[in-house]
Amino acid sequence: MRKIASLTLAALALTPAALAQEAGAGGGLMQSLIMFVPLILIFYFLLIRPQQQRQKKHREMIEAVKKGDTIVTAGGLIGKVTRVADTEVTIELADGVRVRSLKGMIADVRDKNTPVAAND
């Protein structure tokens, strides 16, 4: 009984491969394209498009930075913007401590009215 069941399973597993070989080698390119087009579309909508949208939002956020905003840098520094230039911002980290940073290193811009979460 076990031998018959295993032979039946083996035959079922090999049947699609045998049928695919019989179907012909003439449609190989077309079958490949039919298979890869949906795969490319899935990658585009699940990976590429969301990443582009995040980059666009980040770029808009950086362009909207103005004097007086509280920002968080990619290095984790939190400070208030005192001066904005084309590619740089000057950040006041503490009284009298000012640092120049590239705009691209800004990770987040916090509103003045938004309370900062407490570290619990």
What are the two backbone dihedrals, phi and then psi, of residue 101, each rounded to the nearest 5 degrees?
A: -140, 155
Residues of the chain with CATH 2.30.30.60: 66-110
43 Cα distance to chain centroid = 12
Dig out the tokens for 103 from the structure.
Answer: 């705009």
Contact yes or no for 77/93 (Cβ under 8 A): yes
The per-residue pLDDT for 63 is 92
The per-residue pLDDT for 30 is 82
Say what the pTM is.
Answer: 0.61
Per-residue pLDDT of the chain (120 residues; tens, 9 = 90+): 555 555 454 554 555 554 555 555 556 788 888 888 888 889 898 999 999 999 999 999 999 999 999 999 999 999 999 999 999 999 999 999 999 999 999 999 987 655 556 665
Contact yes or no for 71/106 (Cβ under 8 A): yes
Q: Which CATH number fits domain 66-110: 2.40.420.20, 3.30.565.60, 3.40.50.2300, 2.30.30.60?
A: 2.30.30.60
The per-residue pLDDT for 23 is 52
The per-residue pLDDT for 21 is 55
Dig out the tokens for 86 from the structure.
Answer: 């084309």
The per-residue pLDDT for 7 is 45
The per-residue pLDDT for 90 is 96
| DSSP character string of 2-28 | HHHHHHHHHHHHHHHHHHHHHH-STTH
